Structure 1
Amino acid sequence: MKHIYFIVTLLISTVAFSQIPTGYYDSASGTGFALKTQLKDIIDNNNDGLATEFIAQDLGYSALYVTYELSDVDLYYENNGTLLDMYSEGVMQNPDNTSTNLPDAYEYTYGINQDDGTMGTAEGQRYNREHTIPQSSFNSGSPMRNDAHFVIPSDKYVNGQRGNLPYGFVDTTTQFDEYSNGTKRGENTTTGIGSSYNGDVFEPIDEFKGDIARMFFFFATRYEDQISGFNYVMFDGSSNQAIDQPFLDLLYNWHHNDPVSQREIDRNNAIFTRQDNRNPFIDNPQFVFEIWQSSLSVDEFQNQNIVKMYPNPANGSFVNIDSNQDLVAEVYDILGKKVKVQTINANQKQLNISGLSKGVYLVKLTSENGSITKKLIKQ
């Protein structure tokens, strides 16, 4: 018990002195992928001549366990100083983005249940280090392998079950595996955003989907100059967009639907005290849209001059739809659930999106001559 109290006290005192330094993001003034490069310069391990320069530190693989004693302590759910594992923490995210605690099936105490090369054949035996971007994608190279911003403490068994699977939505109408807190492994859903990927995926619970997304955005930025050489199904082989389109749409929605939490802020601060770099997408969530806007959507779409929808992205409550035919507009959320139906005709040429949350949607426009389906961004 003394060990747990010591960790809690140390974390509180450390976080209190590790906020965003004055001027840290002053050089991040661009837009699009130029902004991503500017952020890379801020958080990488090169001396880029910035007025406020912090050089990212590679502390080595074993140091991750030390970092976790500051960055991944449960002060938010049971609030008992045990390890916070996103794959076993019992918590349910409510529609208003508050959380309801659920009983944990098991808990880990730092140092006592750490992986020693044994066990891990079932949940609750050992914890180890989970690379949200698998090590195999970058051949276990450093500093990637040792970067706590995307390498998280995890139950050893569940970590092994995930393997190098991409993240996605599991199709619960087929056979799938479910772990103690509702985390799933199974076939990717065939509807909604990201449905174009065919294969098994791994789905964290809603409470931590945004956390995972912001880790991916960090990785694509921090390792921008190397990522085109990394081999992973969630990457597109480029240094700019970096994340393959179906997964970019998916992660963007996760980012919006699960906003930055106090837990993420504290984790970011704690890692900064160890590695001397930060996750910009926790400090400023708007960076995601500012960087990837051109990849997330187009300004308008047309079908042989029959239909036109704009603006896209949409910042307000309405989208204009111009057509020489009557249309039925059906709006689908990220899981393919129909969330709105509206008739578009000469008397009503605007699609009301005021009731939709920010994120990516599919809009199916149907006339007597056929239908088209395109992506819509509500920003």
Structure 2
Amino acid sequence: MKKFTTLLLGFLFSMTFAQAPATYYDGTTGLTGAALKTKLSSIITAGAIDNGYNGLYNGYPTTDKDHYYENDGSVLDMYSENPTGTDPYNYQHGVKKCGNYSVEGDCYNREHVVPQSFFGSNAPMVSDIHFIRPTDGKVNGMRSNYPFGMVTNPSFTSKNGTKVGPSTSPGYSGSVCEPINEFKGDIARMIFYFVTRYESRLSGFSSGGMLGNTTYPGLTSWEKDVLVSWAAQDPLSLTEIERNNASYVFQKNRNPFIDHPEWVNAIWGSGLSTSDVNTVENKLFVSPNPVRNGELQLSGSNLDEIKKVQIYSMEGKLIQTVNQDFKTSGKIILKNAVKGIYILKTENESVKFIVE
């Protein structure tokens, strides 16, 4: 669980980076589905620059520094970060880059969330920082070029709980990688960026069980369902906002699904199934998310432990305190919550949600 004070420090830091210009998404109003996806592709392609594959390491000190967990400026690695305790190991930017590795903690390198073998390691995809993260070399290697999905019986589990093994996601039986819950939405929004940014090239890419070969939807049906579900289960985080702003400074384009997470459903639909929800290990859930009518519902296995809920804005302002028996009723009527991103905080857990 993120320490809330650390969240606030990270948010203040992220504000130093460039935000999206007011006109950046002009022309998207009223669009949905394939039309919205194609319009966004045009927007995020225009002006984008390629800093080269080696240039990624120059960008990472601004895009992937830990300001949220240990808040120590180390490399924020999705495959080793432990959000509930001490990390098994840490890397400093520019130190212990791979190189050779044999075990976790040897070195870090560049993980293409959409494997570069799918597009022949060609530019500009091979150096697009929006979907290429610094990660532990060993776990990156074990992930290989597998798509992302749910794993019940892993053949490999990293020290932070990232799993590789046979898929238990409906519609696919090959090997997949399942990240920890903290980063499932992050990975989903990165892949949505990729299939939007490069939609006109998808027909020439390999599928790998992940990519579709047409501009829309751009993903195989089973993978689309997994990623849409993950985006809902793990809403937008401060780390993603900071990363998107820093990537805009570095690369001159943005991930629209971080600026507007509601566009995931506007393009691909909800896709959230009961079986997907039941596999998530989180104890506390907010629904619907995004909230549209000023009313949200708490659910989960630990409602009997919750006596007080506090709702904060992203600026750290306490918006509302609710004291009630949440086991009897998990309904909360929001007060003074305008459109934006909020954090619902209990004594032991924090959950992000969006108000539209």
* TM-score, length basis structure 2: 0.73
1:35 maps to which residue? 36
Shift of 1:33: 0.6
> What are the superposed Cα offsets for residues 141-179 of structure 1, whole Å, 9 maximum, x if unpaired?
10000001000000001101111011111123xx52111
Percent identity of equivalent pairs: 45
The answer on whether the counterparts of 1:83 and 1:108 sit within 8 Å (CA) in structure 2 is yes
2:88 maps to which residue? 105
Q: In the alignment, is residue 179 of structure 1 matched against residue 169 of structure 2?
A: no
Alpha-carbon distance in 2 for matches of 1:335, 1:285: 19
1:245 maps to which residue? 221
1:137 maps to which residue? 118
Shift of 1:22: 1.4
Alpha-carbon distance in 2 for matches of 1:265, 1:80: 18
Q: Secondary structure at the match of 2:199?
A: coil
Alpha-carbon distance in 2 for matches of 1:125, 1:12: 32
Corresponding residue pairs, total: 276
2:205 maps to which residue? 230
* Aligned counterpart in structure 2 of residue 86 of structure 1, from 60, 78, 81: 78
The answer on whether the counterparts of 2:17 and 2:242 sit within 8 Å (CA) in structure 1 is no
Give the alignment of 1:48-59 within 5 angstroms: 55-59=47-51
Alpha-carbon distance in 2 for matches of 1:163, 1:177: 12
> What are the superposed Cα offsets for residues 249-300 of structure 1, whole Å, 9 maximum, x if unpaired?
110010000000011000000000010000000000111111123xx67xxx
Alpha-carbon distance in 1 for matches of 2:139, 2:13: 32
Alpha-carbon distance in 1 for matches of 2:246, 2:96: 22
Q: CA RMSD in A?
A: 2.5
> What are the superposed Cα offsets for residues 232-253 of structure 1, whole Å, 9 maximum, x if unpaired?
2111211111111111011001
Alpha-carbon distance in 1 for matches of 2:257, 2:14: 21
Q: Which amino acid aligns with 2:21?
A: P
Q: Secondary structure at the match of 1:226?
A: helix
Shift of 1:19: 0.8
Q: Which amino acid aligns with 1:334?
A: D
Alpha-carbon distance in 2 for matches of 1:255, 1:128: 25
* Aligned counterpart in structure 2 of residue 269 of structure 1, from 239, 242, 245: 245
Unaligned runs of 5+ in 2: 1-8, 280-285, 291-355
Shift of 1:15: 4.8
The answer on whether the counterparts of 1:228 and 1:242 sit within 8 Å (CA) in structure 2 is no
Alpha-carbon distance in 2 for matches of 1:21, 1:250: 32
Q: Which amino acid aligns with 2:199?
A: E
Bigger radius of gyration among the two = 1
Shift of 1:199: 1.3
C-alpha change, 1:165 and 1:237, in structure 2 (3 Å) is: same
Q: In the alignment, is residue 127 of structure 1 matched against residue 108 of structure 2?
A: yes
Q: Which amino acid aligns with 1:25?
A: Y
Unaligned runs of 5+ in 1: 1-8, 46-54, 92-100, 298-312, 314-330, 338-354, 360-378
Q: Which amino acid aligns with 1:231?
A: S
Alpha-carbon distance in 1 for matches of 2:160, 2:146: 19
Query: Runs of 4 or more off by more than 4 Å in structure 1?
Result: 11-15, 355-359
1:64 maps to which residue? 56
2:234 maps to which residue? 258
Q: Secondary structure at the match of 1:149?
A: helix
Shift of 1:23: 1.0
Alpha-carbon distance in 1 for matches of 2:62, 2:26: 28
Shift of 1:24: 0.8
The answer on whether the counterparts of 1:169 and 1:202 sit within 8 Å (CA) in structure 2 is yes
